[in-house]
Amino acid sequence: MSKIGRQPIEIPAGVTIDVTDDNVKVAGPKGTLSTTLPRGVFVKVVENQAEVSVKGNSKQMTSLHGTIRSILANNVKGVSVGWSKQLELVGTGYRAEVAGKTLSLTVGYSHPVKIEAPEGISFKVEKTFVTVDGASREDVGQVSANIRAVRPPEPYKGKGIKYTDEVIRRKPGKAAAKAAVA
C-alpha cells in the first residue's frame, strides 16, 4: 500500500464529494471539479473524510493509489480555498493589463501578446506582478507556464517573466569573461 494513499482526505465544511461508478465530483464554494477513477481504484466517503483504496497490490496499483489520493486532496483544497501562482515581469517597459478575461502582455515584442483565461481561471495585475487564480491546480499551473513561456527569463540580465519564488542563475557577460582571462 502507498503511504500517501492510505491517508484520509479531510473534507472541510461546505465541500461535498459525490462518488459514482468511475467518477468523483468535488463541489465547493469556488466551483466544481471532476476526476475519472482508473479501473481498480475506489473512493469511500465516511462522515467528513474520504478514503482511497485499490484492488490488488501490484506496483501500478500502488502508484495509482497515491496519485489519485493526491489529485482528490488537491481538488478538495481547490474548491474550498483555491490555488494561486504569482509571476513577475522583469525588464524595462514590461507591463501587463487585464481586460475582462484577457491578459495583455507587453514584453519587448512589436505587438502585445494576448492570453485568454480558460473557464475557472482569473488574472490579477498589480504593477509588475501577475496573479493566476483558480480552483484546479493543474489549470493554474498550466496557464502560469504558458504566461512564463511568452518571455522566459534570460541568464545575462535576468529580463523576462519569472515566478516570484524562482531564482535565476546569472551568467557573466562576454566582457566579464574576457576581463577574467586577461
pLDDT digits (tens, 9 = 90+) for 106-115: 999 999 999 9
Grade residue 98 by pLDDT with cuts at 50, 70 and 90: very high
Percent of the chain, pLDDT > 90? 84
Sheet holding 49-54, edge to edge: 9-10, 49-54, 41-46
Q: What is the mean pLDDT of the chain?
A: 93
**Residue 96's pLDDT is what?**
96
DSSP 8-state class, residue 72: H
Strand 121-126 to 23-28 pairing = unpaired
Residue 50: partners with Cβ closer than 8 Å, 6 or more residues away:
8, 9, 11, 17, 43, 44, 72, 76
124-140: average pLDDT: 96
Domains of the chain, first to last: 3-80 (3.90.930.12), 83-163 (3.90.930.12)
**Residue 24's pLDDT is what?**
96
Residue 46: partners with Cβ closer than 8 Å, 6 or more residues away:
none
**Residue 21's pLDDT is what?**
86
What predicted TM-score, i.e. pTM, was given to this entire model?
0.89
Grade residue 32 by pLDDT with cuts at 50, 70 and 90: very high
Classify residue 27 as exposed, middle or buried by CB count within 10 Å of its CB (0-12, 13-18, 19+). Answer: middle
